[in-house]
Amino acid sequence: MSEIRNVSVKDIEEAIYKLALDAAYHIPEDILEAEKKAYENEKSETAKKVLETIFENIQVSSEEEFPLCQDTGLGIIFMEVGQDVHFTDGYIIDAINNGVERAYKDGYLRKSSCHPLTRANYGNNLPAIVHTFVVPGNKVKLIFDAKGGGSESMSKVQMLKPADGRAGIVQTVVDWMIQAGPNPCPPTIVGVGIGGDFERAAVMAKHATLRHVGQPSDDPELADMEQEILTKINNSGIGPAGLGGLTTALAVHIEMQPCHIATLPLAINTACHVNRHKEIEL
Amino acid sequence: MAEYKLTTPLSDDDIIKLKAGDKVLLSGVVYTARDAAHMRIVESIKKGEELPFDPKGQVIYYVGPSPARPGKPIGSAGPTTSYRMNPFAPILIELGQKGMIGKGKMSDEVKEACVKYKACYFASIGGAAAVVGKAVKKAEIIAYPELGPEAVRRLEVEDMPLFVCYDAHGNDLYEIAKKEWANKL
């Protein structure tokens, strides 16, 4: 057991503020590397041109602090809290929301949260969506994911039958991504959650999009499925921006956990080619 | 595949020469509208009210830009996903709208309207928003300011790079490109 540690929520607010700004302007290194590798392997001239525009965008965005995409997303936070952490100086969720609100205002980021029915814009990009996990120890890990609406809309949860099995999962993910086509801003990172229950599958799928791009699953069977799905998606010909080519997805990442004997939950969450996320441990 | 420089408003002659896959550098005035603005515009059409702009000959850009920094006309301004405008586009095309700018697939009804009334769907590169935003030289909100990023803006653009996606002859660049590059790994 670690010692009980006080963590001020003011430090959390400041961390979220910095992560949100960093995510909006600066692409994660691993994604840029994967896109450069894709560029080398690409045979379509149009696809190469699209990737060149994407590289130019990454540079302009970083140098001039223009957001990578005008849709700067809702703030999704994966928070791992050590069970020996004691938060001080206020309520943790308020602190996270304050950090998001300040970053979106100060950074000239788009406020995209609205009333689901009237569609009235709240003007502050709140609330942030926080997934909390209690873990051993006395540290706090924060992952900030700026999730845009275009790729998020090309997501789904489907309760398969146990008999659908591995083949059914592969087919469902491939068919879905081919049907999504140019909509989620390819080349994408495809997050897949298998098992758990209805909502856990969805959380796993989103979490999977945040893995270091192209790092295979530790489970050899899942790593094999990831490769099979990736090859099938990239054989669709959809290509970068949907304008044709060999690079429709940069990676497929699967997370899995046990499920009920009667169920086979499957979730698919797509991340677009900017896949903005940053993390810190406090 | 050809490359054209076009200036809005667009005529039938401008549209007829375009083929799916052609590149266009678009200049002139374009209007922005997304989901919420389209809902209001179409509501106004049904009620016979005056519209924020006359759609005749115009191009609508499906975009909700990020806020402008001081001294800049606009923030990042890449295309949003177009299928959400499927119910509205054919109505505006019938009233003379000549083009839409967005990303992703639209419906068969939109394709048919492009053929019947001579209009064109232009694809831009989603997520290249900082670069696309640089083509915008001037921006002003002309309707529904309370919608924030979804307000209708009048943009003046210079050489905005676009691909002809659905032309007035029934061709679809996404389908053509996909077929050409399928099973090539």
Chain A CB contacts of B125 under 8 Å are 50, 53-54, 241
User: In degrees, to the nearest 5, what angle opens at C-alpha A200 toward C-alphas A195 and A201?
Assistant: 45
Chain B CB contacts of A51 under 8 Å are none
Give CA–CA dist A279/A141, Å, rounded: 7
pLDDT the model gives residue B133 = 84
pLDDT the model gives residue A96 = 98
Instruction: Find the distance separating the first CA and the last CA of chain B, reported in whole Å.
Output: 25
* Active-site residue, selected from the candidate residues B26, B33, B34, B38: B38
Q: Helix (H, G, I), strand (E, B), or coil: what is residue B118?
A: coil
Closest C-alpha among B112, B23, B106 to residue B60: B106
What is the tally of helices (H) and strands (E) in chain B? 6, 7
Which of B132, B172, B178 is most worth mutating to test chain A (most A CB atoms within 10 A of its CB)?
B178
Q: How many C-alpha atoms does A87 have within 13 Å on its Cβ side? A: 16
Query: Could you report the per-residue pLDDT of A118-146, keeping only the tens digit for each?
Result: 888 999 999 999 999 999 999 999 999 99
Q: Which residues contact A39 (CB under 8 A, 6 or more apart)?
A: A48, A51, A52, A55
pLDDT the model gives residue A268 = 98
Give CA–CA dist B68/A173, Å, rounded: 38
Is pLDDT above 80 for B184? yes
Give CA–CA dist B34/B22, Å, rounded: 25
Contact B106, B89 (CB under 8 A): yes
Tokens representing residue A268 in the block: 């698919």
**Whether B178 and A238 lie within 8 Å, measured CB to CB:** yes
pLDDT the model gives residue A72 = 97
Which alpha helices (H) appear in chain B, and where do they start and end? 12-16, 35-47, 89-94, 108-117, 129-133, 173-181
Which residue ranges make up each domain of chain B? 23-180
Query: Could you report the per-residue pLDDT of B116-165, keeping only the tens digit for each?
Result: 999 999 999 988 888 888 899 999 999 999 899 999 999 999 999 999 99
Query: Could you report the per-residue pLDDT of A202-256, keeping only the tens digit for each?
Result: 999 999 999 999 899 999 999 999 999 999 999 999 999 999 999 999 999 999 9
Give CA–CA dist A281/B20, Å, rounded: 49
pLDDT the model gives residue A149 = 95
Is pLDDT above 80 for A1? no
Tokens representing residue B120 in the block: 């064109």
* Section A11-25 average pLDDT: 98
**A181 shares contact with chain B (CB less than 8 Å):** yes
Q: Which of A130-134, B1-5, B77-81, B130-134 has the lowest mean pLDDT?
A: B130-134
> What's the CATH architecture for B23-180?
Alpha-Beta Barrel (3.20)
Give CA–CA dist B181/B70, Å, rounded: 44
Q: State the average pLDDT for chain A.
A: 97
**A64 shares contact with chain B (CB less than 8 Å):** yes
- State the DSSP code for B49: P
Tell me how close the Cα of A185 comes to any Cα of chain B, in angstroms: 6
Q: How many C-alpha atoms does A272 have within 13 Å on its Cβ side? A: 34
**Is B169 in the active site?**
no
Which of B69, B181, B184 is most worth mutating to test chain A (most A CB atoms within 10 A of its CB)?
B181
Contact A80, A138 (CB under 8 A): no
Give CA–CA dist A36/B166, Å, rounded: 30
Instruction: Give the ipTM.
Output: 0.92
